[in-house]
Every structure is written in C-alpha cells, then in structure tokens.
C-alpha cells in the first residue's frame, strides 16, 4: 500500500450509505431517486484566508463540511454525498486524525457520506463538494421573493464575527465570552432541518456566509426587490446583546460573515406556521422586516430612526 492509499483508508474511508460504489475506484456511483433533482455546491477553505493555519484541526474538519451542508439547507435540499479534495504541506497524523474526526462528526450528524476526493501535497487547502437531493420544482432559490414578504432569519447573528474580531485583537472580550462566541465561528450548525421544512413555506432562501446585508442583498437583487429591516428584531446571542450599543458590534450583526444561519422570505400568511416550526426545531427565528418593490435597503432602530449603515462600519465588510 502506498502511503497515500494508506492515509485515505485510515482517515477518510467510512461506511457510505446511499452510495452504489464508494471510495476506491476512479469515480463513485450514486443514484438520484426518481422525481428528484441533484443539488451540487462546493466551498473551499484556504489556510490563512478562511481559517488560521494553526487552528484546531477538529474545527477545520467540521466547518469544511458544515459550510457546504449550509448551502444545501439554503436550497431546501437534503445533503447526501460529499467529496473532499485536500492539499497538505506535510503528513501529520495527529492533525489528520483530528481533522477527520471533526469532518465525520459533522457528516454523521447530518447524514452525509464521503464518497471520494483527492489528496495531494501543497499549501493547506480543503475543498469540499457536496451533493444533495430535492424533489423536482421544490428547491428554494434566491429569485423567488415577492414584494411584501416577511424577511426571516434564524439566529443568533453576529456571534462568529464578534469572536473573530476578539481573536484578532480588534474587539475586547473576556476569555469566557470569547470561548462562548468562538463555538459559532469554529463549529457552525447548518440549519438543515429548517431548510427542508421551508420548502413548503418560503418563497426564497439563502445562507448567511458573507453577512446579513450582503446575503439578503443577493435575494433582493435576484428577485428585483428592496427591503425595510428592523434592527431590534434581529436575533442575537446574550453576549452580542450586551455589546450592541457599540457601532462595531452592530456592524458584526449586519455585515459579519460566518454565521451560516438562514435568511428567507415568506408570505405573511405563513407567519404562525413558521414561528411554530422554529419552536419545534428549537431555533430562534425572527421576522426582521419586509421586502418592498422599491430597490434599496433601509435599516431602522427601535425608535424607528433610520440607521446610518456607513456609521456602523458595515462598509469594512464590502
Ligand atoms: P485517482 O488517481 O484515480 O484520482 P486517487 O488515488 O486520487 O484516484 O484516489 C483513490 C480513491 O480514494 C478514489 O476513489 C478517490 O475518490 C478517493 N480519495 C482520494 N482522496 C480522498 C479524500 N481526501 N477523501 C475521500 N476520498 C478520497
Ligand atoms: Mg486522484
């Protein structure tokens, strides 16, 4: 056995349900159930850009798959299969063991089979492709929003950006507060069950990877709409709420990336049903505003004055 095959066998080969032919041949074979479409997406994580090169490998493994599952959730698709292309500067068994433990903990939690990939030497880079299934015509897209829809988010928002700012020394947090926030950054929980349930309820959806205003902006652009947002209705974590008077923290909530929550729009007639769904799933869902025919986005604070988005420092994220 060459070392590469040995590595793949040891760290990346696990049982692969829903798979006709898995790891070990030139390609995997899968069958898409009749009446379904295949949803496909990929996300790449580069050391130094998307994570610190010395970050805990468990979290890197978890997150590399979790961010992809989040894309499936945003489409209303059920994540099923993933491939993993990984470039490693050197073979460190302890690192690989922890990376693969994080990856497979996430895979097991969300029912995803790792069915193939590529392993090569190079600057630490992790590229995951994910495939899921969705019944024909039922996928949630960015372009389906209608004027007057409620705008919903799952929350809390801003926690991951707050943790990142604290880790980089750009925002003061106590060690305890940072430890609590950094779970959101290192181990995001993709909203898979929510995405599936929203197929029947939402007009459009996206996952929040680049920040609320940026990602909501993609829905609005694709649907040719604008929006009014009530800042006070955005779900926050207790720590974020403690610091919310600070402009920087407001910018984390509106513009900070890495939350992997869902933002979606739905007719107001579905409001009760969606609130009930949120309670059933144990999620903090909030209606944060409405879409409108007129382009642009206005954000209002609790006493109905318009927030100066530039003053919040949101511009830093654009
Ligand atoms: P090939 O040279 O035909 O591309 P490889 O030697 O790269 O095949 O890989 C052998 C098998 O191991 C293939 O089935 C491939 O999909 C799988 N594989 C390689 N790297 C990984 C990885 N990091 N995770 C999961 N499967 C992998
Ligand atoms: Mg190969």
CA distance 34 to 202: 24
218: left (phi over 0), alpha (psi -120 to 50) or beta: alpha
Q: What are residue 280's DSSP bridge partners? A: none
Contacts by residues 282-287 (CB-CB < 8 Å, ≥ 24 positions apart): 283/154, 283/155, 283/191, 283/194, 284/154, 284/155, 284/156, 284/235, 285/152, 285/153, 285/154, 285/155, 285/194, 285/235, 286/152, 286/153, 286/155, 286/233, 286/234, 286/235, 287/150, 287/151, 287/152, 287/233
Q: What percent of the chain has pLDDT over 90?
A: 94
190 Cα: distance to centroid of ligand 2 (angstroms): 29
Q: Which domains does the chain have, with CATH numbers?
A: 3-135 (3.30.1330.10), 149-300 (3.90.650.10)
Look at residue 96 and tell me whether its pLDDT is greater than 90: yes
Look at residue 312 and tell me whether its pLDDT is greater than 90: no
Q: Which atom of ligand 1 is nearest to the CA of 85?
A: 23
pLDDT at 317: 44
Chain centroid, CA 256 distance in Å: 13
From the CB of 12, is ligand 1 less than 6 Å away? yes
Question: In this predicted model, what pLDDT tens digit does every residue of 212-226 receive, in sequence order?
Answer: 999 999 999 999 999
* Dihedral (CA of 292, 298, 300, 305) sign: negative
Across the range 10-21, mean pLDDT stands at 97
Helices (H), the chain: 3-7, 57-75, 93-110, 159-167, 175-186, 192-198, 212-223, 238-242, 247-255, 271-281
pLDDT at 139: 98
Question: In this predicted model, what pLDDT tens digit does every residue of 295-311 receive, in sequence order?
Answer: 999 999 999 999 988 76
Instruction: Among the bound ligands, name the one nearest to the CA of residue 116.
Output: 1
27 Cα: distance to centroid of ligand 2 (angstroms): 10
Q: How confident is the model at residue 314 (pLDDT cuts 50, 70, 90)?
A: low
Question: In this predicted model, what pLDDT tens digit does every residue of 222-266 receive, in sequence order?
Answer: 999 999 999 999 999 999 999 999 999 999 999 999 999 999 999
Q: How confident is the model at residue 318 (pLDDT cuts 50, 70, 90)?
A: very low
Nearest to 113 by CA among 30, 190, 35: 30
Question: In this predicted model, what pLDDT tens digit does every residue of 100-130 receive, in sequence order?
Answer: 999 999 999 999 999 999 999 999 999 999 9
Look at residue 316 and tell me whether its pLDDT is greater than 60: no
Chain centroid, CA 216 distance in Å: 14
Mutate to test the pocket of ligand 1, among 7, 8, 22 (most ligand atoms within 8 A of CB): 8
Per-chain mean pLDDT for the chain: 95
Question: In this predicted model, what pLDDT tens digit does every residue of 191-218 receive, in sequence order?
Answer: 999 999 999 999 999 999 999 999 999 9
């Amino acid at each position: 056995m060459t070392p590469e095959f040995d590595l793949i066998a040891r760290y990346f080969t696990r049982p692969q349900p829903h798979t006709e032919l898995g790891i070990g041949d030139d390609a995997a074979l899968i069958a898409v159930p009749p009446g379904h479409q295949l949803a496909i997406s990929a996300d790449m994580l580069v050391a130094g850009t998307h994570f610190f090169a010395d970050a805990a490998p468990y979290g890197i493994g978890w997150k590399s798959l979790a961010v992809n599952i989040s894309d499936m959730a945003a489409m209303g698709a059920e994540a099923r299969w993933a491939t993993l292309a990984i470039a490693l500067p050197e073979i460190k068994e302890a690192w690989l063991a922890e990376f693969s433990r994080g990856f497979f903990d996430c895979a097991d939690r969300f029912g995803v089979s790792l069915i193939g990939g590529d392993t090569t030497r190079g600057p630490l880079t992790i590229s995951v492709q994910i495939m899921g299934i969705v019944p024909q015509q039922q996928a949630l897209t960015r372009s389906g929003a209608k004027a007057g829809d409620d705008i919903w988010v799952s929350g809390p928002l801003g926690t991951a950006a707050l943790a990142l700012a604290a880790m980089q020394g750009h925002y003061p947090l106590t060690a305890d507060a940072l430890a609590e926030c950094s779970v959101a950054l290192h181990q995001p929980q993709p909203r898979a069950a929510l995405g599936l349930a929203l197929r029947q309820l939402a007009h459009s959806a996206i996952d929040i990877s680049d920040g609320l205003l940026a990602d909501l902006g993609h829905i609005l652009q694709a649907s040719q709409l604008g929006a009014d947002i009530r800042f006070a209705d955005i779900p926050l974590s207790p720590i974020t709420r403690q610091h919310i008077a600070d402009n920087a923290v407001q910018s984390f909530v509106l513009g900070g990336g890495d939350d992997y929550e869902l933002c979606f729009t739905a007719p107001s007639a579905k409001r009760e049903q969606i609130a009930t769904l949120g309670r059933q799933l144990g999620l903090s869902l909030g209606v944060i505003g409405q879409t409108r025919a007129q382009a642009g986005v206005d954000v209002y604070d609790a006493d109905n004055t318009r927030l100066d988005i530039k003053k919040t420092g949101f511009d830093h994220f654009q």
